[in-house]
Structure 1
Amino acid sequence: MKLREPMPELSGATAWLNDEVTKEELVGEKPTLIHFWSVSCHLCKEAMPEINELRDEYEDDLNVVAVHMPRSEDDLDMQVIEQVAQGHDISQPVYVDSEHKLTEAFENQYVPAYYVFDKDGQLRHFQAGGSGMKMLRKRLNRVLQTEEK
């Protein structure tokens, strides 16, 4: 995805954990952070406490949605996905993308990957990889401050 492109529809999930959300529910009121992760991704698990911290810190100002993107056949076991999500305190909605429908809509190739959308649903920041949480926080704060004006 390119910057300023609109958020894709959140359709085609093979399952949802915690809660199901639609693009319509996310766009309009506050920015959204969508993060891609996988049960087989060590970097994703390492970054999860920081994502959860952002989720909790900006609870009233930010939507957070997790997307589970399988990297192999081993990543398709729903029981394992649920266990890892619970074990890493992923309480936000989790879109289970076992058929890569959302992955393709985002043109995403990475886990972890982070997409920050403004309240109008326009992509404002993308980054991939396990490091760079300070940069993600900085960009997120910039989008949140812009929204307040």
Structure 2
Amino acid sequence: MKLNEKMPELANATEWVNQEVTRDELIGVRPTLIHFWAISCHICKKAMPELNKFRDQYKQQLNVVGVHMPRSENDLDIEIVKLIAKDYGMTQPIYIDNEHRLADAFENMYVPSYYLFDENGRLRHMQTGGSGLHLLEKQLHLILKEMKEISSFYKS
């Protein structure tokens, strides 16, 4: 995906874990973080506590959706995905993408990958790897600041 492109539809999941959401439910109120991960990805598992902390810190200001993108045949067992998601405290909606439909729509090839969309569903930041969420947090603050400025403008 390129910056400023619209968020793809979250359709055709193999299955949803925790809760199913649609793009329309995510757009319009607050920014959305979509993160791709896999049960066989050590970096993903190592980054999960930091991601959960980030999710909880911004729960009133940010939607978070996980996408399980299998990297091998061993990643296709949905029951194992559910167990690992539970073990790692993943309470956010999780789109299981066993056929890589959403990964293809995002043109995503890597896990972990993070896509940050503004409240209008436009891609504002993308990063891959387990290098931490500080850049992502910085971009989120910029989006939230813009939202506050626009809100203040319309209230005056």
TM-score class, shorter-chain normalisation, is over 0.9
Q: Determine the C-alpha separation between the residues in 1 that align with 2:74 and 2:147.
A: 40
Q: Which runs of 5+ in 1 are unaligned?
A: none
Deviation at 1:56, TM superposition (A): 0.7
- Give the counterpart letter for 2:141 in structure 1: N
Q: Which amino acid aligns with 2:97?
A: D
Structure 1 counterpart of 2:92: 92
How far did 1:64 drift? 0.2
SS at match of 2:10: coil
Q: CA deviation at 1:113?
A: 0.1
CA distance in 1, matches of 2:129, 2:19: 26
Gaps of 5+ in 2: 150-156
Q: Describe how 1:66-81 pairs up with structure 2 within 5 A.
A: 66-81=66-81
How far did 1:148 drift?
1.8
1:59 counterpart letter in structure 2 = K
Provide the residue aligned with 2:46 in structure 1.
46
Q: Residue 138 of structure 1: CA displacement?
A: 1.2
Q: Separation in 1 of the partners of 2:148 and 2:18?
A: 29
Larger radius of gyration: 2
Structure 2 counterparts to residues 26-41 of structure 1, below 5 A: 26-41=26-41
Is this contact kept in 1: 2:16–2:95, CA < 8 A? yes
**Taking structure 1 as the reference length, what is the TM-score of the superposition?**
0.98
Residue deviations 1:54-103 (CA, integer Å, cap 9, x gap): 11111111000000000000000111100110000000000000010000
Q: CA deviation at 1:132?
A: 3.5
Q: Give the paired residue count.
A: 149
In 1, are the aligned partners of 2:13 and 2:96 still within 8 Å (CA)?
yes
Larger displacement relative to structure 2 (45-54 or 121-130): 45-54
Q: Note the C-alpha offset of 1:147.
A: 1.7
| TM superposition score normalised by structure 2 | 0.93
Aligned-pair identity in percent equals: 56
Given that 2:47 and 2:132 are in contact with CA atoms closer than 8 Å, whether structure 1 keeps it comes out as no
Other structure's SS at 1:138 match = helix
Alignment correspondent of 2:64: 64
Does residue 3 of the first structure (1) align with residue 3 of the second (2)? yes
> Cα distance, 1:146 vs. partner?
1.6
Where 2:92 maps in the other structure, the secondary structure is: coil
- Per-residue deviation, 1:116: 0.2
User: Alpha carbon RMSD of aligned pairs, Å?
Assistant: 0.8
- Corresponding residue for residue 111 of structure 1: 111
- 3-state SS, counterpart of residue 20 of structure 1: coil
Secondary structure of residue in 2 paired with 1:126: strand
